[in-house]
Amino acid sequence: MTDRTESSEPAAIAVPDLSRRRFVAGVGGLAATSLVAGPALAQAQAREAPALAQAVAANQLPPLAQRLPQSPLVVTPVERVGQYGGTLRRGLRGSQDHNGILRMVGNQGLVRWNLEFTDVLPNVAERWEVNQNATEFTFHLRQGMKWSDGKPFTADDVVFVYEDCLANSELYRSPPALYVVNGRFVEVTKINDHTVRFKFAGPYGMFLTQLATPLGQHPTLFQKEYCKQFHPKYNAAGLPALMRAASVNSWGDLFRAKCGDIEIPTRWGNPEKPTIDPWVIADPYAGGATRVTMRRNAYFWQVDTEGKQLPYIDAINFSIAQDVESLMLDVISGRIDIQERHIDTLQNKPTVAQNAQRGNYRLFETINAGSQQVTIYPNLCHKDPTVRAILNNRDFRVALSIAINRQEIIDIVYLGQSEPWQLGPRPTHPWYHERLARQHTEHNPREANAILDRLGYTRRNAQRIRLRPDGQPLFFAVDVIPTLNPDQVDTLELVKRHWAEIGVDMKVNTIERALYYTRGDNNDHDFAVWFGPGGLEPLIDARDWVCMHPQGSRFGIPWAMWYASGGREGQEPPDNQKRRMQLYDQARETTDVRRQGDLMKQILDLAAESFDCFGPCLAPNLFGIASNRLRNVPARMPYAWSWPHPGPSMPQQFFFTS
């Protein structure tokens, strides 16, 4: 039996004033009689924001001890215990940047990441047990924990999410894959008001890791008491009127409009929806909005090491800029207190650094969780059999790789802030794989030409482009999204010149994101590029060496479909890839980290042998800015979707100096 309790959290080392008895006596009793003047009142007010203390004194809010759980999560501040007050300013871009809010405040799941992105820690669940074969996970919730409207957070809320929402085909066409093992959706059972058990149809060693990611937030997303009014099981008679009032055509649309979901704008569009976040919506994220504002949650369930309720900061103001240029102007003018999203390109760094004094901010480093900055995916399942045969020749791919002048790309596009690289965990990761990362990174156009000659591509047209066996030019289009990845376009323009030197023609096919995915889904691409994941999270996202992502494993999307469907769809992959899939399944089933490492090494060995895709350089570390008045911001933090920066650094413990 594996047991994870609060004792693994350094912040939970005994703090004398945090026992339930002394907390009630030292805070609750004083707050209940908060009209008494003198030191007692000052002590009570010191442990909560002044505005909340005033509301308690006016009998408009319960005392602090009644608002906190019996065992609040204790957070150790990065620098020091903070002070209350202030409004934090942060920027969003355009009308579809809702995940910018999620990354800042929406990370309150059953478990959470530590700052180093190496371990899963207690959060809403103060402890848990896992059975021997990792099929059952029992979570113990914090007793006395409240939603932002003051109602209890209990096991009923968690069960509601799974039984009435995720399993309902009218609300979710199919249950989220995170909760499906061996084709069966998880069974979630209420043991008592504060204990829930998740039971899977097979071993699921990665479940806790997945719960720590943004997509693992479902267990804490919907309050049953509020959201059931939009569900036919609980309010069939009242739904028609509610749907008319909201101008929607189905109860599912109504539910999403009112209760949201993890990654949709309406999660932040309804101020009435209860949450367990440190701040709650005041001015919603809605069409035409120029800002989104959030105010502190009076019932937030975390405290610092002195027992002071978090968050320290009163409110957040998300201004909405229509473009990056406007956001950059706000940053360098000092109108933003913390920002890394959208501004953190290497090309922007000199401008941001030069204006630090003017804007009264400092730079912090974000550690790129990615691996390859520009993974170049040849379509090994190409519809055209001639092209498929060309791309499936490993030597051909090697020739393309060594034709690339990586140092030129690094110097010109990435300002010297990287190194030649292929794929795999970053050099600092315990699973770093030298061969997969470094093979065929030398710039050797002479050898590349010799390889292509040996493969029979000796004929050329008038433009010196080599010819295929059928007489057609050796030409490929490489799909890229310019608005999302401008540096990748610049990189490909250089690669185009490098490949032309060995007689291979290439078009940088700049397309919109929707078309990019459509071409991939239809298997219509020759090559595509994307950021290569897995630098710090190789087990979570192995798409560049295991075809496990039906949209992301772009070197073999039909193989990924075969894997995801259990062999019912797509195309059966070759033995090397099938073996990687089998090993990956085994790695995801076990909770033994050493065993996971052994299995992943075998996967990386096979990927190095196959050499499916390649790229120019290691994804460089980037940066963010923080106001010089804003403290407790780590000097370095991971940069990842699975570690949705800056959220796991606990912005609730950020504070402003006077």
Which residue intervals of 552-629 are DSSP H helices? 557-564, 575-589, 593-610
User: Dihedral sign, CA of 180, 181, 185, 190?
Assistant: negative
Residues 60, 82: Cα–Cα separation, whole Å: 26
Q: What is the chain's Cα-based Rg? A: 27
- Give the global pTM: 0.85
Give tens-digit pLDDT for 484-535. Answer: 788 999 999 999 999 999 999 999 999 998 999 999 999 999 999 999 999 9
**Residue 561 three-state SS:** helix
Give tens-digit pLDDT for 390-413. Answer: 999 999 999 999 999 999 999 999
- 644 has a pLDDT exceeding 70: yes
Q: Which long-range contacts (CB under 8 A, 24 or more apart) does 351-354 make?
A: 352/328, 352/623, 352/625
**Domain residue extents for the chain:** 375-459+532-610
Q: How far apart are the first and last CA of the chain?
A: 49
So what's the pLDDT on residue 658? 85
The superfamily CATH assigns to domain 375-459+532-610 is Dipeptide-binding Protein; Domain 3 (3.10.105.10)
Which of 36-50, 430-444, 508-522 is the least confident region? 36-50
Q: What is the mean pLDDT of residues 233-240?
A: 97
Give tens-digit pLDDT for 180-230. Answer: 999 899 999 999 999 999 999 999 999 999 999 999 999 999 999 999 999
Residues 297, 305: Cα–Cα separation, whole Å: 19
Give tens-digit pLDDT for 578-634. Answer: 999 999 999 999 988 899 999 999 999 999 999 999 999 999 999 999 999 999 999
Q: What are phi and psi of 87, to 5 degrees?
A: -120, 125
Which residues lie closer than 8 Å to 349 by C-beta, 6 or more apart?
363, 415, 622, 623
Q: What is the mean pLDDT of residues 320-348?
A: 95
According to DSSP, the residues that pair with 235 across neighbouring strands are none
Mean pLDDT of the chain: 92
3-state helix, strand, coil in the chain (%, to 5): 35, 20, 45
The answer to whether 468 touches 505, Cβ cutoff 8 Å, is no
Residue 8 or residue 354, greater confidence: 354
Give tens-digit pLDDT for 79-135. Answer: 999 999 999 999 999 878 999 999 999 889 999 999 999 899 999 999 999 999 999
SS3 letters across 368-418 = ECCCECCEEEECCCCCCHHHHHHHCCHHHHHHHHHCCCHHHHHHHCCCCCC
Which two three-digit tokens encode residue 598?
């052994």
Strand runs labelled E in 45-181: 73-75, 87-93, 111-113, 120-122, 125-130, 136-141, 180-181
Residues 208, 112: Cα–Cα separation, whole Å: 9
So what's the pLDDT on residue 13? 24
